Amino acid sequence: MKNSIQLVLLLSLFACHTATKQQDMQTDTSSIRATMTSAVDTVKPIEKSDAEWKAELTPQEYYVLREKGTERAFSGDLWDYHGDGIFVCAACGLPLFDSHTKFE
């Protein structure tokens, strides 16, 4: 009986800790989302020719961004990146997502 009570107490503490962690993460992402939304409101369309895009982007970036290609799985430089930061579009510089919300 004593072990059961200790187990329930331990699980309760773990659940509270996890809920607090998730709440902190939601607060962080909401401020980032507000920043991203305000940036989208002020952006203007970028009008460049294909030659200008090819000169500015790497061949891989051009293929993905302009020709609607797909990067091969586990082949990009950032697929296993776990540092802090915000991922931005290589073409326009707009923020895409925070590294904490990256799919694992």
Tell me the pLDDT tens digit for each residue of 68-89: 998 888 887 877 888 888 888 8
pLDDT at site 102: 72
Residues 6 or more apart whose CB falls under 8 angstroms from that of 31 comprise none
Where is 86: in which H helix or E strand?
strand 86-88
Contact assessment for residue 95 and residue 36, using Cβ atoms and an 8 Å cutoff: yes
Residue 30, pLDDT score: 66
pTM for the model: 0.52
Query: Residue 79 contacts by C-beta under 8 Å, 6 or more apart in sequence?
Result: 73
pLDDT tens digit string along 12-61? 666 666 555 555 555 566 666 666 565 556 778 889 999 999 999 999 99
Contacts of 71 (CB under 8 A, 6+ apart): 60, 64
**C-alpha–C-alpha distance, residues 37 and 19, integer Å:** 26
Q: Supply the pLDDT for residue 63.
A: 93
Please tell me whether residue 33 adopts helix, strand or coil conformation.
Answer: helix
Both tokens assigned to 78: 């950032």
pLDDT at 82: 81
Tell me how far apart the alpha carbons of residues 65 and 39 are, in angstroms, rounded to a whole number. Answer: 20
